[in-house]
Structure 1
Amino acid sequence: MTLSLDIHYVTHIGEDLRVNILKPDGSYEQHRMQTDDGHVWSIRLTTEETTAGYIDYFYTLHRMTTELRREWCMITHRLETIGDRDSTYICHDLWHDMPDDAHLYSSAFTECVNNREHSMSPKADSNSAIRLKIRAPQLRKGERLFISGNCNILGNWNPDNALPMYEHENNEWVATVDTTDIQLQDIELKFIIKHNNPDHINSIIWETGDNRRLNIPTINGNEIIVIELPRASFDRHDQKLAGTAVPVFSLRSEGSFGVGDFGDLQLMTDWVACTGQRVLQVLPVNDTTLDHSWQDSYPYSCISIFALHPMYCDLRRLPQIKDKGLRTRFESLRKELNALPKVDYVRVNDAKNEYLHIVFEQEGKTVLSTKEFKEWFAEEEEWLVPYAQYSVLRDKFRTPNYNDWADHNVWNEDDRPALTNPRTKAYKEVAYHYFVQYMLAMQLKAAHRHARAKSVILKGDIPIGVNRCGCDAWMEPRYFNLDGQAGAPPDFFSSDGQNWGFPTYNWDEMLKDDCRWWVRRFSNMAKYFDAYRIDHVLGFFRIWEIPGSCKYGLLGQFSPSLGMTVDEIAGYGLRFSPSMLGEGMEDEREKARESLFLRDHKRHDLYHPRISSHGSPCHERLSQQEKDGYNRLYDDYFYRRNNHFWYTEAMKKLPQLVNATRMLVCAEDLGMVPDCVPWVMDELKILSLEIQTMPKEPFVRFGILEHNPYRSVCTISSHDTETMRMWWDEDRERTNDYYHNTMHHGGDAPHPLPGWLAKDIIYRHLACPSMLCILTLQDWLATDERLRLADASEERINIPANPHHYWRYRMHLNIEQLLAAKEFNRSLKEMVDASGR
């Protein structure tokens, strides 16, 4: 068949446009287009008809061998091959940039909230036809697009007779217009939305604006003309959704084994759906097993960005243990562990590992020989094989520090053949880990399918770091700076700063292969989730890097960042002296008190002002004139000097990661936020995080909820903060200020927080403009004084200032009790519905 494409795109001298035809394997063929005026580009190709019944393609802008721009490829152009193999398709296309409502193309909306059946349109009655194509992301579940116009085939403006369209791609609709039925050369039309249920309150919605005018071109034999029209325009309010945040390990059901699991995740989805919510957010679920101690409970310290944590395996969904005595023993242990108020991490994991080993010995050979397992193994082999070998070696040498192992101190690709051959000894040693990861993947995929069936968005979490002794660093050390440590500068959470202990990333190395490590990570995440939270998105702009010898975050510096020369420092009226570096002092806190500057980690002739240095002894010894100069330098350095540099750094990385999947992208953008962060997030349509008690506006104690941007996630507390009830009683002066000046109530603020007031606070958050309002389970429960935990201090999940915190919070109710709490659930649903979510 012949394919003729044209598109309007204004280029400059030396630039050219190319069309990229996608192949089934994801690669593409690139063809240079022609132009006479630099405005209209065209090409004529001969291609084979595809078995899929359509061809997908996209456009790119080039200057010689360099790609300057490409279209937004969340969805590509799709041409259905509706004629015979001798047909000529003439396509008049539009260039697509990322739209403001890009979220409506994410799987969170297309597969969960607005899920609709897709279908290819019927074959054309003849080989001469006009195809109209348009993108209309505003449609919701149960709706279909039609064309109404001033001719018979379009119903003569009668919506009952309008021409139906077919959604052959997410939010892209097509229809064939039989030109033999059109008497006019110039027709008028509008698009309309019709609900499948004619009794629906908005059963018909007409497109806004003037009528569209379409001039019908002359069609020669065997020609199918495809006209892409500017996107549909409907006057619809933005969709807002409510949700719950809870760690998987915190879930409790009647049948769980002392810790939440992927089966409990399905039950929790049912509760979210029954209360009118649409989002269930969890913490990271990756394996964190280092030494099998309670310190492995830290979910943000994964040993593999792909492997799932074995403790999340739902033992109820495994084949039953045949030995009756063992079944009785494990059931007794399950009841004991499940009755505990908090997770006993070590006992739970020891018990589950023993159980999994028994099931593996009993069923492993059968499972690993199935077609389903072999297909899954082929897809996951790249990461799975090194992870399994790492896990065996970690336990064999009784340490996760691969530098201390007797051998295999780095992954050797030559080991792969033996580790993937079921007949070898090496395979048999690692097969248990293949079995466990397969079971986990199947269970989490089942939870994902269940969430989609309930129209609930399952939202995951991508930690900024990985453990320096984990499989990722062992397998691909070139991607990491293992002599540095990631953390956070001194802030509200910690006056000494935070040292997470993670290695920082070697971005120079990662960028050499277009961040393949990160793309694989995000793509793997998309198998299980439809939205995700980027933990500490500021790390993609710059990370707080702490020397490997340091314990605290006090002596860190942003990396990368533009260090200052001695001459630049002098330009602020400040005479630089080596004594300002505090060097030679072994105690970190003492060195911090005596230093105004730190040497650059890579170039020792450059310097950075030490963060939080105001008020230190070294700062106090400065004259007033010197203090004024240092203060100007400090403000310029942290808030202006690096802005465009950090913008460029983020734009090297984030665009390809955001576009690697169709998940909805949310980011935790709290802390010392440079001005360039909102620029990037707005450009890439990433949702920000808004917490009223941690406002981003300067000189404001509490944020104004009505000022929240639509493209944001609103919450009251998180896993890193006190819950709403804890915050309410922590500082009564602050609480009174909030009660009087933000909520506009009179009298003294009541303590402890009563249920009616918790409901008031929550409703105000639900009513704000943010797209998502996701509250912790503890904050939802705060509205019901009969259901909530008696001791509010037991609700906290994490204390960021404590790097050795034990993550063990569990729901005090089980999910079955939560589902049975009819009055509470009705109250929540009423709030959600009344707020327009």
Structure 2
Amino acid sequence: MILRFSIPYFTAWGQRLVVCGSEPSLGNWNLDQALGLHFDPAVGTWSQEITLPDAASGTVTYKYVLLNQQDGSQQWEWGPNRTIDYQSGQYQRILLHDFWRAPAEPENELFTAAFTEALMRRPTPAPAEAATAGVTSSNAVRFQLAAPRVPSGCQVCVLGSDAALGAWDAKQALVLSDADYPTWHADVTLAQPDRIALYKYGIWDPATQTMVQMETGEDRVLPPSEEEHTLRVRADENFRYTSGHWRGAGVALPVFALRSQQGLGVGEFPDLKLLVDWAVRTNLQLVQVLPINDTTATHTWVDSYPYAAISVFALHPQYLNLDAVAELQDSADRAELDRLREELNAKDFVDYEPVMNAKWTFIRKLYQQEKKRFLADPAFKAFLQEQHSWLVPYAAFSALRDRFGTADFQQWPLEFRAPHDLESLTAQTQPDFDEFGVHFFTQFHLDKQLLDAVNYGRERGVVLKGDLPIGIYRHSVDAWTQPELYHMDRQAGAPPDDFSTTGQNWRFPTYNWERMAEDDYAWWKQRMGHLARYFDALRIDHILGFFRIWEMPGNSVEGLLGHFAPALPLHRDEIERRLGWFDYGRLCMPYIRWHMLQDIFHDQAQSVFDEYMDDAGYGAIQLKPHVASQRQIEAYIDEKIAREPHSADHYKWLRTGLYQLVNEVLFLPAGNDYYHPRITLNKTYSFRELDGDEARRRLYDDIYIDFFYGRNEEFWREQGLIKLPPVRYATNMLICGEDLGMVPASVPGVMKQLGILGLNIQRMPSDPKVEFGHPDAAPYLSVVSPGSHDMSTLRGWWEEDRQKTQHFFENTLGHWGEQAPYYCEPWVAREIVAQHLHSPAMWAIFPLQDLLALSSELRRENPQDEQINVPANPQHFWKYRLHLSLEDLNRATDFNHELQELMAARSRSLL
């Protein structure tokens, strides 16, 4: 059996193509031993052949690789390994006519699970043998096209000049098999193989037996061949659609915010089915949610924060629908559950603590009621075996958290501060097994209910998009079981931005990337694989963290004393050379003077000085040792608030001022006489009161601008290309990155190279020279949205700043010279939504609140009640809840029809 490789490709000087694959003659996937191809300049084709071993049948997998002898680089073609099956005696030669699959092409993202598992899902693939029905001799052609973008009810066909291809009669087109979707193929014997065959691909509707679309462009060409006992495989790429790029629209809402008649004061996984139904009614193709992992650390409302999960694998018990688990057998329990459902569902917000108390009360009752059947259930046994690596540690951690009254495992008895023999601890034979068993029970049913909702969406062509938090919670199963993967003495957050002028401190430990690299990022791959169990698309929160994270020392509360990690800090000698001097005390210690205390604390300056500060001489002031750091100040003030709760507002005001004093530094020590410039140092008293003229202050600006916008750019690009690929390619999910904030110049290029969609928020343009972004300027591989869960909604934002609103109304919406309405009227919201739908971006995704703004009947009365999170407030209570039920939303016929027409008019949801 001869296997011949052939691929058209015009290389540059010093480049050559090779084939690497599963056969010894292809190097057994060792690139150094790959098969070199020969170039024929007459036809622009690289080719070479190998002889396959004598065998009844076999499979060869391979890929093309572009080698550059000038710089030693290696570029593998994009996509999965190519595969060719062969059988002895069927053909003597297989001729592979391939085409190079270029990386970083927009169409590549159509091969992700969002399209292949949901949007274009194939419910019943054709049997494989159907692909060979057209072979009538030993000389055959295999037409093969990689094309995921085919509606579920349609197929790909090929129409051409040869009689076997219909002789250009569309009714006689050759229909291809989807047995290997997203690759379509069919083998056929041409009527006139000795002639050139011209052909094109089309979309076939089997219900009407008609071609509903033929690709554009010139005819494809199949050269003639009279070789006997030969299979020619024409592996084509890129169906040329008449409608241009595929574009879709979606809705975003946290699961906890869903409201249904069957819920218990909070959204639950079965409610996603109702949201999917509404999406189908309104021509939306995607439902986006916030993180859904278990955050139960304190059993208080503080656990409402969805980005502080105690496990990156376990699901939150609040999303469990109790009725779907089993019916309570005790009539009094059923009556009490009905009473609580009516009481909690009547509230206009998620009352987290009463909701969770009710959930856990009835979860434990159901566990005891169903325990015997549950432990004997083969489905549970399979779940336990499959999810064992995270499920057992999670159950152990959760039970110990409740036993010892805290999730901070450093406060547990010494023998439990690190996990030991968890199999024995959680064994069913243990007398205290129920402490652990209830968590096995809960996770099993959560998984079951979520998978049911996910499959419901997939069957209806709706993608479920999840959210990957950038950090892990400090008191979590992950930190307990694998502390070596994290820097537990450091904190992650974000530098100052539009959300918070003092930066954000999430208090998460930062990642130990060097340690993670030692096992090829196994933890990340497991985490992504688990998310792919539920989601076909994923938002990566703060994707900038894969390039560099904002890292603060453990004694910081605010984010201003952080620095980017990793980064290339400045040595003292370099600072001294560029500034002409260096004084550690003046540049690196808090700069505090009496007039500053008067500015900050006004008439209380003296009393604040007396309690918190000492005279350091020569007009300098220093904080007392017991309040020298923000964390010490936090603890000290918290004690005062606990003793005098009636004075809490005063002490919080005082605390903010003291924090400001700690921030009055210009450089942050990085060890070994290296330093980071403090972020926004030019806004400090310390900077304004430097000795010298304006020219001298510009020296600091030069250092600052170079450090944050030049010095580290290439370094950060390399970091992104090291850390992101293992995460990006761990699954086949469509990946979208939240890339807002202080974005390094290298980020967009790396994301494009890896096929990761960016995020474009109109109110936070990536171009600092413009006030508002325009959806029309967004690239195809991106998501456009008028806002996010970290912002006020459209209606809320409209009322925040009249001057900004007027600028937006005139310059972005095009109402030149007109007075903007005081409120965001439905017609204004419609214009903004329509503007986003018209964008060239692959996805336009809207917070549900912003879509409801189109209806004066359905929108909430007070837009200030619609905001989900306030990033500037680290103690924010995440309690937002949709004000109308999903049942009512599905029955809003006029509104749903309006949205449906809006999507169609802006060419969203087209083929």
| TM-score, L = length of structure 1 | 0.92
Counterpart in the other structure of 1:551: 557
Moved more, 610-619 or 247-256: 610-619
Counterpart in the other structure of 1:541: 547
Q: Residues 72-87 of structure 1 correspond to what in structure 2 (within 5 A)? A: 72-73=78-79, 75-80=80-85
**Distance of aligned partners of 1:37 and 1:248 in 2 relative to their CA distance in 1, 3 Å threshold:** same
Q: Residues 49-68 of structure 1 correspond to what in structure 2 (within 5 A)? A: 57-58=62-63, 68=74
| Alpha-carbon distance in structure 1 between the residues aligned to 2:60 and 2:47 | 22
1:783 aligned to 2:854? yes
* 2:225 aligned partner, one-letter code: I
Give the conservation status (yes or no) of the 8 Å contact 1:464–1:539.
Answer: yes
Counterpart in the other structure of 2:182: 171
Moved more, 278-287 or 621-630: 621-630
How many residue pairs end up in the alignment?
A: 821
Q: 1:529 aligns with which of 529, 535, 554?
A: 535
| Alpha-carbon distance in structure 2 between the residues aligned to 1:540 and 1:182 | 56
Per-residue deviation, residues 752-793 of structure 1 (Å, max 9, x unmatched): 222222222222222222221111111111111222111211
Moved more, 629-638 or 11-20: 11-20
Per-residue deviation, residues 55-112 of structure 1 (Å, max 9, x unmatched): 6554567999x99554434x33233457778976554544434332122111111222
Give the conservation status (yes or no) of the 8 Å contact 2:198–2:219.
Answer: no
* 1:509 aligned partner, one-letter code: R
Q: 2:107 aligns with which of 101, 104, 107?
A: 101
1:771 aligned to 2:780? no
1:203 aligned to 2:212? yes
1:762 aligned to 2:768? no
* 2:723 aligned partner, one-letter code: K
1:388 aligned to 2:395? yes
% identity of equivalent residues: 37
When Rg is computed on C-alpha atoms for both structures, the one with the higher figure is 2
Give the conservation status (yes or no) of the 8 Å contact 2:140–2:231.
Answer: yes
SS in structure 1 opposite 2:799? helix
Q: 1:218 aligns with which of 200, 216, 227?
A: 227
Give the conservation status (yes or no) of the 8 Å contact 2:290–2:306.
Answer: yes
Moved more, 589-598 or 434-443: 589-598
1:795 aligned to 2:866? yes
1:184 aligned to 2:254? no
Q: Residues 35-50 of structure 1 correspond to what in structure 2 (within 5 A)? A: 35=36, 37=38, 40=47, 42-46=49-53
Q: Residues 601-612 of structure 1 correspond to what in structure 2 (within 5 A)? A: 603-612=671-680
Q: 1:146 aligns with which of 157, 161, 170?
A: 157
**Distance of aligned partners of 1:597 and 1:771 in 2 relative to their CA distance in 1, 3 Å threshold:** same
Moved more, 391-400 or 115-124: 115-124
* 1:440 aligned partner, one-letter code: L
| Alpha-carbon distance in structure 2 between the residues aligned to 1:14 and 1:755 | 59
**Distance of aligned partners of 1:808 and 1:46 in 2 relative to their CA distance in 1, 3 Å threshold:** farther
| Alpha-carbon distance in structure 2 between the residues aligned to 1:18 and 1:199 | 41
**How far has the Cα of 1:808 moved from its partner?**
0.7
**Distance of aligned partners of 1:736 and 1:232 in 2 relative to their CA distance in 1, 3 Å threshold:** closer
**How far has the Cα of 1:188 moved from its partner?**
2.7
Moved more, 76-85 or 205-214: 76-85
SS in structure 1 opposite 2:681? coil
Moved more, 620-629 or 448-457: 620-629
SS in structure 2 opposite 1:607? strand
Counterpart in the other structure of 2:34: 33
| Alpha-carbon distance in structure 2 between the residues aligned to 1:527 and 1:376 | 13
| Alpha-carbon distance in structure 2 between the residues aligned to 1:308 and 1:701 | 40
Per-residue deviation, residues 189-220 of structure 1 (Å, max 9, x unmatched): 332333335498x7131441244132326134
| Alpha-carbon distance in structure 2 between the residues aligned to 1:597 and 1:44 | 66
Gap regions ≥5 residues in structure 1: 23-27
Counterpart in the other structure of 1:832: 903
1:701 aligned to 2:771? yes
SS in structure 1 opposite 2:545? helix
SS in structure 1 opposite 2:223? strand
* 1:561 aligned partner, one-letter code: A
**Distance of aligned partners of 1:184 and 1:426 in 2 relative to their CA distance in 1, 3 Å threshold:** farther
* 2:368 aligned partner, one-letter code: E
* 1:783 aligned partner, one-letter code: L
Q: 1:242 aligns with which of 249, 254, 269?
A: 249
| Alpha-carbon distance in structure 2 between the residues aligned to 1:392 and 1:673 | 41
Per-residue deviation, residues 102-144 of structure 1 (Å, max 9, x unmatched): 2211111122222235332444556653323232344344332
**How far has the Cα of 1:16 moved from its partner?**
6.6
Moved more, 185-194 or 343-352: 185-194
* 1:829 aligned partner, one-letter code: Q
**Distance of aligned partners of 1:436 and 1:12 in 2 relative to their CA distance in 1, 3 Å threshold:** farther
Counterpart in the other structure of 2:616: none
* 2:476 aligned partner, one-letter code: G
**Distance of aligned partners of 1:423 and 1:192 in 2 relative to their CA distance in 1, 3 Å threshold:** same
Counterpart in the other structure of 2:204: 194
* 2:683 aligned partner, one-letter code: G
Moved more, 627-636 or 106-115: 106-115
Give the conservation status (yes or no) of the 8 Å contact 1:83–1:127.
Answer: no
SS in structure 2 opposite 1:157? coil
**Distance of aligned partners of 1:183 and 1:535 in 2 relative to their CA distance in 1, 3 Å threshold:** closer
**How far has the Cα of 1:836 moved from its partner?**
1.2
Gap regions ≥5 residues in structure 2: 40-45, 591-621, 631-658
**How far has the Cα of 1:18 moved from its partner?**
2.4
Q: 2:741 aligns with which of 671, 675, 680?
A: 671
Counterpart in the other structure of 2:710: 640
**How far has the Cα of 1:634 moved from its partner?**
0.9
Q: Residues 490-569 of structure 1 correspond to what in structure 2 (within 5 A)? A: 490-569=496-575
Give the conservation status (yes or no) of the 8 Å contact 2:147–2:237.
Answer: no
Counterpart in the other structure of 1:25: none
Moved more, 605-614 or 164-173: 164-173
Give the conservation status (yes or no) of the 8 Å contact 1:580–1:594.
Answer: no
Give the conservation status (yes or no) of the 8 Å contact 1:596–1:609.
Answer: yes
Give the conservation status (yes or no) of the 8 Å contact 2:215–2:240.
Answer: no
**How far has the Cα of 1:548 moved from its partner?**
0.5
**Distance of aligned partners of 1:313 and 1:127 in 2 relative to their CA distance in 1, 3 Å threshold:** farther
Per-residue deviation, residues 143-199 of structure 1 (Å, max 9, x unmatched): 3222222222122222222222223333322221225x3352433333233333549
1:680 aligned to 2:685? no
1:620 aligned to 2:620? no
SS in structure 1 opposite 2:362? helix
Give the conservation status (yes or no) of the 8 Å contact 1:251–1:810.
Answer: yes
**How far has the Cα of 1:235 moved from its partner?**
3.5
1:430 aligned to 2:472? no
**Distance of aligned partners of 1:830 and 1:13 in 2 relative to their CA distance in 1, 3 Å threshold:** closer
Give the conservation status (yes or no) of the 8 Å contact 1:394–1:400.
Answer: yes
Per-residue deviation, residues 379-404 of structure 1 (Å, max 9, x unmatched): 11111111111111111111111111
**How far has the Cα of 1:427 moved from its partner?**
5.4
SS in structure 1 opposite 2:307? coil
**Distance of aligned partners of 1:7 and 1:806 in 2 relative to their CA distance in 1, 3 Å threshold:** same
Q: 1:813 aligns with which of 866, 875, 884?
A: 884
Counterpart in the other structure of 2:20: 18
Q: 2:894 aligns with which of 804, 823, 833?
A: 823
Moved more, 506-515 or 758-767: 758-767
Per-residue deviation, residues 526-545 of structure 1 (Å, max 9, x unmatched): 11111111100110110000
**How far has the Cα of 1:656 moved from its partner?**
2.2
| Alpha-carbon distance in structure 1 between the residues aligned to 2:304 and 2:224 | 66
1:305 aligned to 2:312? yes
| Alpha-carbon distance in structure 2 between the residues aligned to 1:581 and 1:761 | 47
Per-residue deviation, residues 421-442 of structure 1 (Å, max 9, x unmatched): 5445575542221111110011
**How far has the Cα of 1:8 moved from its partner?**
7.3
Per-residue deviation, residues 779-830 of structure 1 (Å, max 9, x unmatched): 1111112221112111111110111111111111111111111111112112
Moved more, 275-284 or 210-219: 210-219
Counterpart in the other structure of 2:331: 324
Counterpart in the other structure of 2:321: 314
**How far has the Cα of 1:696 moved from its partner?**
1.2
| TM-score, L = length of structure 2 | 0.85
| Alpha-carbon distance in structure 1 between the residues aligned to 2:55 and 2:859 | 64
1:458 aligned to 2:526? no
| Alpha-carbon distance in structure 2 between the residues aligned to 1:713 and 1:616 | 37
* 2:752 aligned partner, one-letter code: D
| Alpha-carbon distance in structure 1 between the residues aligned to 2:866 and 2:841 | 26
Give the conservation status (yes or no) of the 8 Å contact 2:2–2:50.
Answer: no
* 1:787 aligned partner, one-letter code: L
SS in structure 2 opposite 1:203? strand
